[in-house]
Structure 1
């Protein structure tokens, strides 16, 4: 193509990589926001569960602050959902519709597609954390400093990465129609058995020991330690486990996508 024949196109110049990534992320966010089946449950379910179990259901948990404890665990629960559904369901549907193949042959960098979904997951995750913070501080009497909240937010942001990887693997593995069911079969039992809905101490001892197998448990332990509801938290170990799981599921997803 001769730029002199197209002065308008030539004047636009070549779009920068940063602009391409930013636009893809923005359009991905808008697409998901305009999908009520995703946006409404993602934003409201953690908040509704928190209000019911932490604020409306009476009861004390000994030395633990129930409102603060469930604030930490429901924050973890809330950020996992956008990561799993955004990648797991979104990728599966786009693969089935041929949208992923179109993206592959377009001049857009491959990284823009995946980083856009990560950015979308993080945006929804922080929206959920914000809503839970309002409920916990405004109505649950949870006292949390700005520094502690920032530590919690940073942990949750980084903690979404292994679940983005798991969602990517699911999306690369199953078809669009089955993706929602598969993600729910992973997400809901994992959240329950990791102690994100109710504390693990209400479960039998064997189930408490098996909780270490779930990545959600490791993220939950880190959030509980930050808000002062768990002692002796080994942050380095939990972070290492989540990092290993991220690399493992990214590798599995990459192998699957190469064969697709």
Structure 2
């Protein structure tokens, strides 16, 4: 299973779209937003530099988790690779676990690079424990989006999975408060944001950076989304296997 994880990770790292959308864009967006809004503070007192550190880390994690699961999984189903995996010694649970592990590994570059840019170029400073807490939250918090990507890849053909995952990624980022602070959103958009896991994801990160610890409401909501979408992903995977 270790070799399979390495194969999956290396394949995505060679993907130019992954490198551009998931690694380069979050860092570039962070440097732009933090330079323009760095001296401003949100309603919670966070500076623009700290606010967009969380938001762009979350965007990178969201993009990485969806791009490394939805389209590749749909392509493997369409090419017959799933049928080939079923005749290998790998059990079904190992195949899906490999996908999850590989996706989690591919989330790290964007989160780490945005954090490095915040420290090196924007002077963001926090106690080591708070940095570690933020990195852990941003990393583990992608679980709902990884499950969503696997569900999309299991249910849709490749030519449909790609636009659906891209639109889903941008919708979650835009309406979840990753690009626009919730406080300045129109009331209607704010109501939509409160229903999305991306808002809970970024809310957990903002709570850590502000020094308030883990926000219980956002944490519980994110965990709930992980369970619900995880169940949907498993059911969708079983359906895909039955049809393979």
Superposed pair shares fold, TM > 0.5: yes
Cα root mean square deviation, aligned: 2.1
Sort the Cα spacing of 1:211 and 1:229 in 2 relative to 1 into closer, same or farther, 3 A. farther
Structure 1 stretches (4+) deviating beyond 6 angstroms?
Answer: 229-232
Other-structure match for 2:236: 253
Give the structure-2-normalised TM-score.
0.89
Structure 1 SS opposite 2:226: helix
Sort the Cα spacing of 1:259 and 1:108 in 2 relative to 1 into closer, same or farther, 3 A. closer
Other-structure match for 2:77: 95
Which of 37, 40, 45 is matched with 2:20 structurally? Answer: 40
Answering whether residue 32 of structure 2 is matched by residue 49 of structure 1, we say no
Q: Once structures 1 and 2 are overlaid, which stretch shifts more, 65-74 or 156-165?
A: 156-165
Which of 91, 97, 105 is matched with 1:123 structurally? Answer: 105
Measure, in 2, the Cα distance between the counterparts of 1:33 and 1:111.
24
Measure, in 2, the Cα distance between the counterparts of 1:130 and 1:141.
15
C-alpha deviations, 1:109-151, integer Å up to 9, x for none? 3333323322222222111111101111111121122211111
Structure 2 SS opposite 1:197: coil
C-alpha deviations, 1:136-181, integer Å up to 9, x for none? 1111121122211111122122211111110011001111122211
Other-structure match for 2:180: 198
Give the structure-1-normalised TM-score.
0.84
Which of 111, 117, 127 is matched with 1:135 structurally? Answer: 117
Higher radius of gyration, 1 or 2: 1
* Structure 2 residues not aligned, in runs of 5+: none
C-alpha deviations, 1:24-48, integer Å up to 9, x for none? 1111111111222223321111111
Measure, in 2, the Cα distance between the counterparts of 1:156 and 1:57.
22
Measure, in 1, the Cα distance between the counterparts of 2:159 and 2:223.
34
Other-structure match for 1:7: none
Other-structure match for 2:9: 29
* Structure 1 residues not aligned, in runs of 5+: 1-20
Other-structure match for 1:18: none
Alignment of 1:159-178 (within 5 A): 159-178=141-160
Measure, in 2, the Cα distance between the counterparts of 1:94 and 1:240.
29
Answering whether residue 44 of structure 2 is matched by residue 61 of structure 1, we say no
